[in-house]
Structure 1
Amino acid sequence: MRPFTSVLLLLLLATALPALSQSNNLSVSGMVKDSADQSVVVGAYVSVTGAATGAKPVYVTTDKDGKFLVSDLSASSSYTLKISYLGYQEVSRVIRLKNESLRLGTILVQEVASNLKEVQVVGQVTAMEQKGDTTQYNAAAFKTNPDASTEDLIQKMPGITVVNGTVTAHGETVNKVLVDGKPFFGEDATLTLKTIPAEIVDKIEVFDKLTDQAQFTGFDDGNGQKTINIVTKVDKRNGQFGKVYAGYGLDDRYQAGGNVSYFNKDQRITLVGLSNNINMQNFSSQDLLGISSSSSSGRGGRGGGGGSSNFLVGNQSGLTGTNSYGLNYSNKLGPKMELTGSYFFNRTGNTNKQVLQQEYFLDDGLNNQFYNENSTSSSTNMNHRLDFRLEYKINDKNSLIVTPTLSFQNNESGSVTAGTTDLADGTQLNASDILSDGLNKGYNFSNSVLWRHSFEKRGRTFSFNATTSMNDKTGDNELYSKNIYYNNTRTPGDTIDQQNHTNSKGLTLGGNLNYTEPLGENGQLQLNYGLTLSNSNSMKDTYNMAPDGGGYTDLDTLLTNNFDNRYITNRAGLGYRLRMGSWFANVGVDFQNTGLYSQQLAPYQTEVDQTFTNLLPNAMLSYRSKSGTQFRAFYRSSTNQPSITQLQNVVNNSNPLALTAGNPDLKQEYSNRVSMRYSKAGADVPFSFNAMLYVTQTNNAIVNSTFIANEATELPNGLVLEKGSKLTSPVNLDGSWNARSFFAYGKPVAPLKLNVNLTTGFNYTRSPGLVNDVANFSNTYAASQGLVVSSNISENLDFTLSYSANYNVVRNTIQPTLNNNYFTQGITGGVNWIFGKGFVFRTDFNNQSYRGLGEGYNQNFTLWNASIGKKFLKNNAGELKLSVFDILKQNNSISRSITETYIQDLTSTVLTQYAMLTFTYTLRNFGKMPVRENDRRGDFPGMGGPRGEGGRGGGGRF
């Protein structure tokens, strides 16, 4: 879509929307607090019921600030307002609306003084409900065993799945998990779900969380994330809980660790830790700066063994020993200030052996090249990470949010690699034996300071967000390789013996001003301006071993580079937001001017001075009914600047057969993104249905250009690329498309006491690339089908069974003979059975099947684990179990990657069979919540506004 056409359509839509506005659209709002200590009550039910006979109540829940807003009400009508929450006395009052919305201020609720053990619940618990933009699950409706974590619990809920450590809700990846509306371990989703036990969970809320500034204004900035909020039981918010464990087994396998939490209402402290050599880990990609830099070997364009993607939970290859410890703290420091923070340390040691095969697409089809590699690698990574969030309510009109993060990393790595390149007829072109070692360390720091101000006039707001980020990374690396070039009389072979020192620094300063003004009863205008200043420097000095062997003193100017890069971005925008009953609409356009100045200082001086000017339109239309139906259509355009690594014109010769380099002439990418989502949830007959479509089109996409030398070729910088060797560098190409559709349906089957989640997906990817200056478009069509069945029988018997299938069709424009169809499927299951007098049997299996990958890669294998244990001590707090891993000795690791230039198959080392004896102690010590007289009352004169569409809170009091 051309920018001018997009803007014209948006302006026409903006002028038409006010005509759709509905009059007499009133609301009632307020804030719910605990009467004893004035703390906000998160997740309380708020219902408003009209006086007419048979009128259906309108439900919402209080957000993380205890606020609620019920809209679409009529004037001159009386309503019954009820507020209820587990452990609190219900509040009921009659309200009447005249000709304006009603702001109730603070409503205080008092805790129930009776013993909770005497309360009897009658009737069936509602499994799920739609509360405005939030899907809410009641934990009591789902059966889990006494040792279950929140991760085990959510897998039983319609529309939520956990596969290989990745949490998906309603078809979208969950990136944030909150506990009672507050961050937990820096919002690390996996760590939070594994740490919080299922027994303390009251409700699970799923919603789209906007950024803090977007929540306040109500204008979606496109940076929202799918979020899960764990609402804990009131009677579990005071006490200590957790578990500790230790085990030892055959082949010197060991594990020890646990987590302990101390909750005292708003004050919460959690300690976690683990130490093992069985590939268990609980950290995120924030911990892996050193790993990413150390593995940029350019081996055929892949990340190399030990890349950061291999260190994520559930995706690690090789064998890993982990030592990690963490502390999370949150507290309300007085009536106006809240602090949450976490510290996390981990040290991992990884060893891996990999077998790699790549087939490169060439235009003639006769000289297709096959690159084969065997590598053994090891790495040790250490990381310290700190996250904080301070919220300060200056007064009723002003608030401040400060969110700094700091991390330090240190990585040591080494690898031994043997690679060969052959033609399709078996002719050998080259071979290389490589030894490499590296030491990389660095830090990252970022901070955001957000000031928000609400004026007296409802909907008029001003906010300012100042951001800072800086990083510094250094590396010392050694490379020794022996290379053979067959049938090359000029250079039959050579030896590389080098050391290099790298250093990269970056500093970015940004500021964003945002002003909103109400227009009429239901409209709101937004004006924004942002300025970003970014400066980065990257330096690499490479030294060859001196001819006399006296040390690394010979500077290699062809592999040495010093590069500066600066960006200045000015962005100003105008937006309009309209509420039309159950409909919301946003339209807007930003004008962006970006100046890029790049300067190469060594080995020779060059300059690049470019200016990019863009119009960036955006639009959003959403519908949210009271019955649980939601629809959302979103369009946004954006730009993406090349990184300093992509711009730096220095050759990386970590693998002499596959060189990589940057390109200082890169332009920024321009993308158009369209997304549509339809969802419906039922309460009386609980189910969840979600349908989604995402389409992204990118102009000037930054993609790879691969030059494969058919004969010895001198590069512009003077290096010689020998026959059969490759040089890969980034270029800009049009024609990049990505389309993804997804359908998810979840439903409890009450007669069978089962929960069923069914997913279907269709994806299309069009990836452009250059091979020897000839454009190739790799078109990938993929269809996927998934089924998850979990039990809801009892607390003593818990099982899950899942099936997934993926069929992929790959078509290339250069090489139709390399068109490929391949199929993968997986069947997984697990059983947790408590029987007799505290006996526990657990087993899980994972069967993977691959077809169409090629000779030696089509496989079918099953990973089967099982354990038997006995619970003892008071309240069954202790458990001793014997477990066996990989009973069938079939564990395996295979992956296939399709790019615009090659097909890659990769196998990696895996953990093999072992047995282990483990002792676990579970801590449960919950105290009765204190009940105090209502000795303090306050009044909140105005809310921050209704929930912004697609996210909690916000609306700028609009």
Structure 2
Amino acid sequence: MNRLTYIALLLLLSFAIFQNAEAQNAQITGTVLDSINRSAVVGAYVAVSRNAPNAKPEYITTDINGKFTFTGLTKQVSYLVKVSYLSYKDFTQNVTIINDIQDLGTVQLTEAIANLKEVKVIGQVTAMEQKGDTTQFNAAAFKTNPDATTEDLIQKMPGITVTNGTVTAHGETVNRVLVDGKPFFGEDAALTLKSLPAEIVDKIEVFDKLSDQAQFTGFDDGNGQKTINIVTKADRKMGQFGKVFAGYGLDNRYQAGGNVSFFKGNQRISVIGLSNNINMQNFSSQDLLGLTGSSGGGGGGRGNAGGGGGASNNFLVGNQSGITGTNSFGLNYANKFGKKVDVSGSYFFNRTGNTNAQTTEQEYFLSGGLGNQFYNESSRTSSINANHRLNFRLEYNINPNNSLIVTPRLSFQDNNSNSLKTGLTTLADGSNLNSLDNTQRNLNSGYNFSNDVLLRHSFAKKGRTVSFNVNTQLNDRNGTRYLYSKNLYYNNLTSPDSLMARMMGDTTDQKSYTYSNGTTWGSNIIYTEPISSTGQLQFNYGLTLSNSNSSRETYNMSFDENTYSDLDTLLSNNFDNRYTTNRAGIGYRYRKNSWSANFGVDYQNTGLYSEQLAPNDTKVDQSFSNFLPNVMLSYRSKEGTQFRAFFRSSTNQPSISQLQNVIDNSNPLSLTAGNPNLKQEYRNNFNVRYSLAGAKRPYSLNAMVFVTQTNNAIVNSTFIAQEATTLPSGIVLERGSKLTSPINVDGSWNARTFLAYGKPVAPLKLNVNLTTGFNYVRSPGMINNVANFSNTYAVSQGLVLSSNISEKLDFTVSYSGNYNIVRNTIQPNINNNYYTQGISGRVNWIFGKGFVVQSDISNQSYRGLGAGYNQNFTLWNASVGKKFLKNNAGELKLTVFDILKQNNSISRNVTETYVQDVTNRVLTQYAMLTFTYTLKNFGKMPVNDNSRRRELEGEGGDFRRSGEGGGGRGPGSN
């Protein structure tokens, strides 16, 4: 039993101690629906007050399912409940609480007969409220300029940041953005935020969205995602809005595009387009194939375990190093058909052309008194990547007790790339070991398909449910690589510049074909049974079958035939891999008043069968059996205090590229290969969250701790030849060359803390966001068969000041600093401290008769990096424009980018085997003239038009009995 298991037991003990202290709390719950079409009424105000003279009411609003829950009430006391919403008659009811949970059931609102007169409410809007698991921000409390996007709006909100296209909320990456509870452009968070204007937003909800199955049962399955839900204003659900723009500038720089949305109640259609060569990028990880490294490839592990993210991490947030030209088109559709069917879908096409020039410096840590080894590389690359992405979701509420959700996804990728690379390996005394001159061309194509089918059934007995899920995943990859490389190996180190020193060398001229495909079929069934008014049992069983195949054929140039016809058996391989996983478990869920707890255990058996079919037949047959416990304890108060502690064990299977034992010689001086003897990783995850928010507090506070401990962690093992060495595969590794392959090692830790504090400063009309954090990463690795543990300690600090003065003056000032301490176990002499700092400011000022001035400036500072990498540079962009046409719909703007001509790109990556500093090509100074036209045409809703009002107000669409069946939670639920 390890330390984290003890922590889980302590959580259970803490729950038992606090249970009695909360025994007197009671709740009033209910669901607010439209009386005609039975759709959820989102954002209705619910007031609860004691039935006593001068009693003050307290307010909450309904979530996207129309649900509300008041906590902290007293039994045997009479309360007045009042529900109100624009265009509806008020609902009132006297309630005397008898049980711990007094369920009002369905509250039906009926249409108001008379037209409502305009009512002006003057007062300070509450900026943030905590509603159960959901943090809700009121958009009216944050002032933005008329042209602001939703992305501009949320950056003013406490605890939310957007950096290089990545949205984080309370220290966690936001993976999904919903609009009125429905998907928008699939799961592309950045694209959604950029496409919606801030003026249509009523509220922003931040919560952990459980999977559809977990939301129904109420048992957290660990597959939840940090999610933002954009609640639109009631008077913005009918109309057309968007903007189109076009611009041209110096050095043939151009941009054109736009987005237009057509909202008609439940029917929503959005179209976007973009074409430019100024690094405006908007793709996600699904758009990328062959962009995150060399084609094919064994090897694996954690290349970015120590410090700032590597290239693949950048791609995940929509940034690609170098200069990129983008052409893209997207279409999103959502609608509700009748009372039972909700559909949403999107299509997105993206074609990017990228060019980059990169320099890389790596320092490898050698043991045994061998000294360190240095590798310097310069490369020029170009690539064209095309992607088609389709997403669809169908929700069918068959009847009050049954629902069906079908979610297919399909994407196609096509990538062509070319690279020119030169590299040199040296020792600490400056003597040369080897060099390369490499030309490579890669042609890759493939597709991904996945589909989830979820059938949910709620029995007549409240809390008794059954749900059945079937998922399918298919993928296919084809690639062709041309490689021409001249490699020199220096054997006369005393005179490295002499001809004798370069007498050893070889030339590689090859063509490789790679192919891989995978099929995964999975299913699970979950049954829940109530055993008391506060307790519920869950039983689950799942079966997963996965098959994958990967092959590579490498041919050397036959100079006799002048064609690639000589099969290189040392670099060719055909590999087949199969997984069979059976998993069964039991769980218990407890909920009473402000407390809830889940705990359970699963037993999992995984069979791994791998077979190498060529060049020789070898087999690996392994079986893994694990017990996977999970514990969750949470507390929520009506005042906005929330505490949640979570512990879960899980496994992670090695990928087929990590298992396939074939040499990848994309860089002949740095080979990679897989390891068919890899075992699965076993992870223990523990996290704690604590937050304070609410209308009664003038501030918000979020604190979190995340800890991950991994046994059998899949990490890199690097062998650097000190003399010519023949590998077991038969390939000769010359002196100074490297071979990297994945292995299993214990002792991997990753701990992170995060604290966010936000407060509006009313006298200065500012919003203040303060963040701080501490990260610890213990990353094991192996170099020349000697274990090394890289321990990285990082302290981060951030401060954001955003204006809340007026819609015409908007500015933001921010600071971020990161101090990193790296300590290695085998080479303490290369321990390193480095610091990165960023200071930025942005202003948007509208004055006079439509004049606009915009400017943003940022300063980046690097200290403690390698020679030539310690830099301090400032990027300043500015523009001036004039609005004209009716309602200032048109704007002509002149922009100058990089006024000071200091733009730069530097990054540091610390791993368990090397430290790496990288610089990339950047966009330099240019000027551009741009015309923008803004479309705003919102319709009015007659109060006495039943069909029109139902169309506008009938949002929602989640399974209505989900809360009754298992207590499923949605945003804002208590």
TM category (shorter chain) comes to: over 0.9
The answer as to whether partners of 2:693 and 2:701 remain within 8 angstroms in 1 is yes
- By how many angstroms is 1:824 displaced? 0.6
- In the TM superposition, residue 115 of structure 1 has moved relative to its aligned partner by 7.1
Hey, what does 1:264 align to over in structure 2?
Answer: 264
Q: Give yes or no for contact 1:207–1:951 (8 Å, CA) kept in 2.
A: no
Match of 1:120 in 2: 120
Q: How does 1:250-399 map to 2 (within 5 A)?
A: 250-292=250-292, 294-295=294-295, 308-313=312-317, 315-399=319-403
Q: 1:5 to 1:421 in 2, by over 3 A?
A: closer
8 Å CA contact retained: 1:476, 1:500: yes
Separation in structure 2 between the aligned mates of residue 236 and residue 736 of structure 1, nearest angstrom: 50
SS at match of 1:190: helix
Secondary structure of the 1:453 match is strand
Q: Which residue of 2 aligns with 1:928?
A: 940
Match of 2:495 in 1: none
Which of 963, 967, 973 is the equivalent residue of 1:945? 963
The SS at the match of 1:618 is strand
Aligned-pair CA distance for 1:187: 2.6
> Counterparts of 1:607 and 1:140 in 2: how far apart (Å)?
64
How far apart, in 1, do the equivalents of 2:557 and 2:10 lie? 63
Answer with 217-226 or 875-884: which moved more. 217-226
Partner of 2:609: 597
Q: Which moved more, 1:599-608 or 1:922-931?
A: 922-931
Q: For 1:533 and 1:941, locate their aligned partners in 2 and report how far apart those are by CA, in whole Å.
A: 30
Q: CA deviation at 1:22?
A: 7.1
- For residues 310 and 631 of structure 1, do their structure 2 counterparts lie closer, same or farther at Cα, with a shift above 3 Å needed? closer
Q: Paired residue for 1:494?
A: 506
Q: Would you say the 8 A contact 2:355–2:382 is kept in 1? A: yes
Secondary structure, aligned partner of 2:570: helix
Instruction: Tell me which residue corresponds to 1:195.
Output: 195
Q: Do structure 1's residue 565 and structure 2's residue 577 form an aligned pair?
A: yes
Query: Which has the higher mean CA deviation after the structures are superposed, 212-221 or 283-292?
Result: 283-292
Tell me the distance in 2 between the aligned counterparts of 1:538 and 1:149: 45
Matched, 1:878 2:890: yes
Contact 2:585 2:600 in 1 (8 A): yes
Shift of the alpha carbon at 1:366?
3.9
**Number of equivalenced pairs:** 954
CA distance in 2, matches of 1:15, 1:163: 38
Map of 2:228 onto structure 1: 228
Secondary structure of the corresponding residue to residue 185 of structure 1: coil
1:617-642, CA deviations, whole angstroms, 9 ceiling, x for partnerless residues? 11011110110000111101111010
2:845: which partner in 1? 833
SS of structure 1 residue aligned to 2:916: strand
Aligned to 2:650: 638
Q: CA deviation at 1:97?
A: 4.4
Contact 1:448–1:467 (CA<8 Å) still a contact in 2?
Answer: yes
Partners of 2:253 and 2:278 within 8 A in 1: yes
1:676-708 C-alpha deviation (Å, 9 max, x unpaired): 111001313431101111111111000000000
CA distance in 1: counterparts of 2:421 and 2:604, whole angstroms: 46
Distance 2:299 2:26 in 1: 63
- Listed as ranges, the matches of 1:309-708 within 5 Å are 309-313=313-317, 315-487=319-491, 492-708=504-720
Give the structure 1 partner of residue 106 of structure 2.
105
Shift of 1:823: 0.6
2:265 pairs with 1:247: no
- Aligned with 2:729: secondary structure? coil
In structure 2, the partner of 1:66 is 66
Picking from 761, 769, 777, the partner of 1:757 is: 769
1:941 Cα offset (Å): 13
Which deviates more, 305-314 or 811-820?
Answer: 305-314
Preserved contact between residue 538 and residue 587 of structure 2 (Cα < 8 Å): yes
Offset, 1:40: 2.3
Closer, same or farther: CA 24–678 of 1 in aligned 2, 3 Å? closer
Shift of 1:16: 5.9
Deviation at 1:238, TM superposition (A): 0.2
What secondary structure sits across from 1:945 in the alignment?
helix
Structure 1 residues 12-27: aligned runs within 5 Å: 20=20, 27=27
* Residues 1:374 and 1:290: Cα distance change in structure 2 (over 3 Å): closer
Contact 1:32 1:109 in 2 (8 A): no
Cα deviation, 1:238-273, whole Å, max 9, x if unaligned, reads 000000000000000000001000000100000011
Q: How much does 1:310 deviate? A: 4.2
| Secondary structure in structure 2 of the residue aligned to 1:144 | coil
Tell me if the contact between 1:59 and 1:131 (Cα under 8 Å) persists in the aligned partners: no
What letter corresponds to residue 616 of structure 1 in structure 2? L
Displacement of 1:486: 0.6
1-structure distance, mates of 2:451, 2:112: 38
Q: Give the whole-Å Cα distance in 1 for the aligned partners of 2:630 and 2:297.
A: 39
Give 1:94 shift. 2.7
Q: Aligned partner of 2:144: which letter?
A: T
Displacement of 1:73 in angstroms is 5.0
Q: Please give the secondary structure, in 1, of the residue aligned with 2:327.
A: strand
CA distance in 2, matches of 1:306, 1:626: 43
- In structure 1, C-alpha distance between the alignment counterparts of 2:67 and 2:807, rounded to whole Å: 35
Distance (Å, rounded) in 1 between the aligned partners of 2:818 and 2:256: 37
Name the CA shift for 1:951/1:658 in 2 (closer, same or farther; >3 Å): farther
Q: TM-score, normalised by structure 1?
A: 0.95
Going from structure 1 to structure 2, the CA distance change for 1:161 and 1:750 (only over 3 Å counts) comes to same
Q: CA deviation at 1:27?
A: 4.7
Displacement after TM superposition at 1:950 (Å): 10
Q: Find the partner of 1:802 among 783, 807, 814.
A: 814
Q: Where does residue 210 of structure 1 map in the other structure?
A: 210
> Over aligned residues, Cα RMSD in angstroms?
2.8
> 8 Å contact 2:295–2:479 — kept in the other structure?
no
Q: What is the DSSP-based 3-state SS (H/G/I as helix, E as strand, rest coil) of the residue aligned with 2:191? A: helix
Identity %: 70
Structure 1 residue 549 displacement after superposition: 4.2
Distance change in 2, residues 1:56/1:400 (3 Å): farther
Distance 1:556 1:262 in 2: 58
Q: Does the residue aligned with 1:614 lie in a helix, a strand or coil?
A: strand
1-structure distance, mates of 2:730, 2:268: 61
Equivalent residues of 2:209, 2:971 under 8 A apart: no
* d(CA) in 2 for partners of 1:23, 1:129: 25
What SS does the aligned partner of 1:476 have?
strand
- 1:18 touches 1:578 (CA, 8 Å); kept in 2? no
Whole-angstrom distance in 1 between the partners of 2:223 and 2:665:
38
SS in 2 for 1:682: coil
Structure 1 stretch displaced more, 486-495 or 665-674: 486-495
CA–CA distance in structure 2, aligned partners of residues 786 and 8 of structure 1: 32
Shift of the alpha carbon at 1:26? 5.9
Q: Which moved more, 1:93-102 or 1:292-301?
A: 292-301
Once the two structures are superposed, residues 182-219 of structure 1 have per-residue CA deviations (whole angstroms, 9 ceiling, x without a partner) of: 11111311111111101111111111111111111111
Report the CA distance between 1:82 and its aligned residue.
Answer: 2.0
User: Matched residue of 1:192: which SS?
Assistant: helix
1:392 aligned partner, one-letter code: Y
Going from structure 1 to structure 2, the CA distance change for 1:103 and 1:684 (only over 3 Å counts) comes to: closer
Compared CA separation, residues 171 and 950, structure 1 to 2 (3 A):
farther
Write out aligned runs for 1:771-790 (5 A): 771-790=783-802
Q: Which residue of 1 aligns with 2:869?
A: 857
Q: What is the CA–CA distance in structure 2 between the aligned matches of 1:144 and 1:8, rounded to whole Å?
A: 45
TM-score, with structure 2 as normaliser: 0.93
Deviation at 1:892, TM superposition (A): 0.2
SS in 2 for 1:809: strand
